[in-house]
Structure 1
Amino acid sequence: MKVTYCILGTFNSGGMERVLTNKANYLVNKGYEVNVVTTDQKGRKPFYALDPRIKTYDLGINYTDDLDRGILKRGAIYLKKQHLHQKKLAELLHTLKSDITISMFDNDASFITKINDGSKKVLEIHFSRFKRLQYGRSGLLGFIDKFRNKQDLRTVARFAKFVVLTHEDKGYWGDLPNIQVIPNANSFKRMGRAPLENKRVIAIGRLDYQKRFEDLIEAWVKVKETAPEWVLDIFGKGPLKTTLEEQIAQLNLTDVVRINEPVNNIQEEYLGSAMLALTSRYEGLPMALLEAQSCGLPMVTYACKCGPKDIIKNGENGFLVPEGDIGRIADNLLTLIADPELRSEMGGNAYLSSARYDEEAIMEQWESMFSDITKI
């Protein structure tokens, strides 16, 4: 069977890129022919290593070149690039003759089902139903967000299958006959539990509005007052790096809060930490939580849409905190800091829970779906 994935690029260190890489590598090892089609790669190497048997194609659309333009100018250019994108992708898909073509809900989602190349079209989303509304933008941008949010329902209905990550998110989409829940798999095989002895909390993610690291940094003021020997290591890059570094300096936290570049050996960083913190505004199914629990880390996280409530049982393998409650984030971190036995108990529960997300179990669901839709 031949499967083609469509995504903006594989050069970023995000969860979506990691998930795609893991699935593509798994499938090619099972004998599938796998292609990855990008629009903005620009010759950059994938951040996560793709199996050399996977064929990659870049269409050279480069949507991200226009992010700094004014909204009207950007909109006009976007329409032209959409037309070019559809033309180039159609030509390539007719050449590839895939059985399955998968959109990662990127710039191709609005038109890919119109391409009659013979492949079954699948759409997968790595955020929640409310992704477009989470920025709380006003004015023209807010109107566009609301309009596109409504259009999403029409878009997803056109696909043979629409895959969401959680049952929580499935409920937000309504009664769609083509919707299916398949969670992300663990990023790596479990190699034993972290000892949870290092006085370090880890946080992972892009340094942007979604991840809300400013709340976690503010919470660390209280943590430092009670446990000054503990440090917070944030791994990520993004547009808010300078802003977050300034906040760290203003709060006199430079000795205990560090922002680190993404690393390929992130499993080692988890194993060298005592817990994970997450303060996102929204998620799909956070890879950071899956990775942390597969290393046996207890987790302290906002109960945002969507994902944390699927992974964490409050008080068992971590703590769920109401969104925006910075004080409770700090208090729950301090509870785990002060109680090594509780840390160990929650970490053990997290490690056991991670078995539900082993790669083989998750990929069996994908292969079953592929088989079902190609028989139709």
Structure 2
Amino acid sequence: MRITFLVRSIWGIGGTIKTTLNTAEALVELGHDVTIASCVRNKAKADFAIDPRIEVVSLWDVRKPEEGGERLSFLDRWRMKRPSFLDADKVNNMGESSKLLDVRVRKFLQTHQTDVLVGTQISINLYMAAYGRPAAYAMVAQEHLYLDHYTDTLRGLILEHYPKMDAIVTITDADAAAYREALPAQADKVVCVPNSIPPSSKAPSELTEPVIMTAGRLTGMKGFDILIKGFAQVADDFPEWKVKIFGRGKDRKKLKGIIDEYGLQGRVEMPGPVTPLDAEWQQASIAAIPSRFEPFGLVIVEAMAAGLPVVCSAVKHGPLEIVRTEENGILVEPKQPKQLADALRRLMSDPSLRRKLADGGLNTAKRFEPGQVVGLHVDLFDKLVKARA
């Protein structure tokens, strides 16, 4: 099959980018022709490695011309300053949103040849609903957030336009149930396919290094401030332990201020983004995921695949479907540094508990390996293509 993924940008770091690449690589491994169409390109090299068998096209290179970007025509410069048709509903959250991007995406959707076109977020899916060619290819709306997260305005757009799709793919069973309830006439179109993560390239952690690790964008959503405050409550009792927070984001200065406030300089480190993280996970003994909001939680599975016990906020939907307290991790009340501290204390003081939960996590992670998950994608795509024959 010819399968195309349309993404906002494939060049950065994020869960949607990573899982799209994981899925694409698993599909080309099976012999399918895979294209990733990135609406924008803003750097010379992608943060994640991209399999050379995957064709990557960019619809708009937003870099400066001297850095390899486009030299726009007068008309395109005019379009760049005009709002996207999606902006009125506050759908997009990226600076490149504009009439020019609308034009580029429309041209691509009107001319691209493929069997299956997969959108990867609400703005892309609404572009597909507006400009896609349902007579030419099957259209699949992937959701990497969850229905209840959206504002009433965006939820209304979803309920109006997603029925135009051939399939709606969620990443959790709970979200699939929510879509079926909201769109009963389309219930048979809704399918849950979880995100995938390949096995770690390193041996599982020996769980002997006194390191608590986490990774993600440095934003309020990820709750790293909660982790710092929780660690502050146990730091004096475990002077050899430290915390490493990998990632970049707008809250770096704020988090540094919290580290300084609690006197944790040298005990809490923020090394920045690192890809891949396999070697870093291997040198840690506990994974802490203190998110305020986590639709799936790819980092949870990544930590489990590296052989780490996971302490995670009990937020919907992913953590509640992945983590089982006392089996493969520990769930704690969200936004509660004291509860997080208590869970960390248990694991820091009990190597046998770390090993037990890590072993459970390794078994859980196997369910999310691309080789296991890709079959669900192939079954769905094959069904959609055959239905059109």
TM-score, normalising length: structure 2: 0.85
Instruction: Choose the corresponding residue for 1:100, options 101, 116, 129.
Output: 116
Partner Cα separation in structure 1 for residue 207 and residue 93 of structure 2: 51
Instruction: Choose the corresponding residue for 2:188, options 171, 177, 180.
Output: 177
Partner Cα separation in structure 2 for residue 297 and residue 156 of structure 1: 38
Where does structure 1 differ by over 4 angstroms across 4 or more consecutive aligned residues?
Answer: 61-67, 74-83
Structure 1 range deviating more: 7-16 or 235-244? 7-16
Cross-structure match for 1:318: 329
Q: 1:300 to 1:66 in 2, by over 3 A?
A: farther
Shift in Å, 1:201 = 0.6
Q: 1:337 to 1:116 in 2, by over 3 A?
A: closer
Partner Cα separation in structure 2 for residue 228 and residue 350 of structure 1: 27
Structure 1 range deviating more: 246-255 or 77-86? 77-86
Cross-structure match for 1:114: 130
Partner Cα separation in structure 2 for residue 256 and residue 79 of structure 1: 36
Q: 1:312 to 1:30 in 2, by over 3 A?
A: same
Shift in Å, 1:28 = 2.0
Shift in Å, 1:311 = 1.1
Partner Cα separation in structure 1 for residue 42 and residue 330 of structure 2: 41
Cross-structure match for 1:35: 35
Residue identity opposite 1:305 in structure 2: K
Report if aligned partners of 1:275, 1:298 keep a CA contact under 8 Å in 2: yes
Residue identity opposite 1:355 in structure 2: K
The root-mean-square deviation of aligned C-alpha atoms, in Å, is 2.8
Structure 1 range deviating more: 215-224 or 49-58? 49-58
Could you say what secondary structure the match of 1:109 adopts?
helix
Q: 1:321 to 1:64 in 2, by over 3 A?
A: farther
Q: Which runs of 5+ in 1 are unaligned?
A: 133-144
Tell me the matched-pair count. Answer: 360
Partner Cα separation in structure 2 for residue 334 and residue 20 of structure 1: 36
Q: 1:229 to 1:27 in 2, by over 3 A?
A: same
Residue identity opposite 2:369 in structure 1: D
Partner Cα separation in structure 1 for residue 219 and residue 121 of structure 2: 20
Partner Cα separation in structure 2 for residue 239 and residue 121 of structure 1: 35
Report if aligned partners of 1:40, 1:64 keep a CA contact under 8 Å in 2: no
Report if aligned partners of 2:212, 2:244 keep a CA contact under 8 Å in 1: yes
Q: 1:235 to 1:76 in 2, by over 3 A?
A: closer
Cross-structure match for 2:54: 54
2:258 equivalent to 1:258: no
Instruction: Choose the corresponding residue for 1:333, options 328, 344, 352.
Output: 344
Partner Cα separation in structure 2 for residue 249 and residue 174 of structure 1: 48
Cross-structure match for 1:141: none
2:281 equivalent to 1:270: yes
Q: How does 1:65-144 map to 2 (within 5 A)?
A: 81=97, 83-117=99-133, 118-132=136-150
| Deviation sequence 1:162-216 (CA, Å, 0-9, x none) | 1111112223334333111111112335754211000001111101121121111
Partner Cα separation in structure 2 for residue 45 and residue 363 of structure 1: 26
Partner Cα separation in structure 2 for residue 76 and residue 6 of structure 1: 15
Cross-structure match for 1:163: 169
Report if aligned partners of 1:85, 1:108 keep a CA contact under 8 Å in 2: no
Partner Cα separation in structure 2 for residue 76 and residue 18 of structure 1: 20
Could you say what secondary structure the match of 2:188 adopts?
coil
2:243 equivalent to 1:232: yes
Q: 1:231 to 1:79 in 2, by over 3 A?
A: closer
Report if aligned partners of 1:125, 1:284 keep a CA contact under 8 Å in 2: no
Cross-structure match for 2:74: none
Q: How does 1:18-29 map to 2 (within 5 A)?
A: 18-29=18-29
Cross-structure match for 1:374: 385
Partner Cα separation in structure 2 for residue 151 and residue 281 of structure 1: 25
Report if aligned partners of 2:3, 2:114 keep a CA contact under 8 Å in 1: yes
Q: Which runs of 5+ in 2 are unaligned?
A: 63-78, 182-186
Partner Cα separation in structure 2 for residue 42 and residue 193 of structure 1: 35
2:365 equivalent to 1:357: no
Could you say what secondary structure the match of 1:206 adopts?
coil
Instruction: Choose the corresponding residue for 1:207, options 215, 218, 225.
Output: 218
Q: 1:294 to 1:77 in 2, by over 3 A?
A: closer
Structure 1 range deviating more: 330-339 or 90-99? 90-99
Structure 1 range deviating more: 27-36 or 288-297? 27-36
Instruction: Choose the corresponding residue for 1:194, options 179, 185, 205.
Output: 205
Q: 1:59 to 1:302 in 2, by over 3 A?
A: same
Q: 1:43 to 1:235 in 2, by over 3 A?
A: closer
Q: 1:259 to 1:344 in 2, by over 3 A?
A: same
Partner Cα separation in structure 1 for residue 38 and residue 255 of structure 2: 31
Identity of aligned residues (%): 23
Residue identity opposite 1:25 in structure 2: E
Shift in Å, 1:338 = 0.6
Residue identity opposite 2:147 in structure 1: R
Residue identity opposite 2:219 in structure 1: D
Report if aligned partners of 1:61, 1:85 keep a CA contact under 8 Å in 2: no
Residue identity opposite 1:89 in structure 2: V
